[in-house]
């Protein structure tokens, strides 16, 4: 499946696990996927980053502490969950922003229901 990331067409692997990592505004430094757990290391702007996908998605339904982890500059930066998990971090590996979509940590929609007075 082709997706546009930073203005570049990127082919995402058709796999149970997919990792995309790089610097904001630039094409990804790593686009990798597998149907099996894996570990990848990449240098992102001088920060050593380890991406660990540790679960068997076909058999694990819920795991404590996530399906994988991102460790940047020896700091635990992100717990990877089902769906989309995102982290932006500084040059010390400290998370500046984390976000989740399509999983249990994704923000839930909130609705305000007003009732008319009788």
pLDDT on residue 60: 60
CB of 88 closer than 8 Å to CB of 108: no
* Pairing label, strands 75-80, 47-53: unpaired
Q: What is the pLDDT of residue 82?
A: 80
Coil vs helix vs strand at 31: strand
Hey, CA dihedral for 13, 18, 19, 25, is it positive or negative?
Answer: positive
Compute mean pLDDT per 10 residues along the chain, 118 residues long, and list them: 72 89 90 92 96 77 74 93 89 92 75 82
Q: What is the pTM of this model?
A: 0.77
């Amino acid at each position: 499946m082709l997706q546009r990331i930073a203005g570049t067409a990127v082919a995402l692997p058709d796999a149970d696990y997919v990792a995309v990592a790089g610097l904001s505004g630039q094409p990804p430094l790593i686009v990798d996927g597998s149907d099996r757990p894996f570990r990848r290391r990449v240098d992102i702007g001088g920060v050593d980053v380890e991406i660990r996908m540790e679960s068997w998605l076909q058999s694990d339904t819920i795991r404590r502490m996530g399906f994988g982890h991102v460790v940047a500059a020896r700091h635990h930066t992100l717990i990877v969950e089902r769906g989309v998990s995102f982290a932006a971090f500084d040059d010390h590996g400290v998370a500046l922003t984390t976000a989740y979509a399509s999983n249990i940590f994704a923000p839930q929609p909130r609705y305000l229901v007003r009732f008319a007075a009788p």
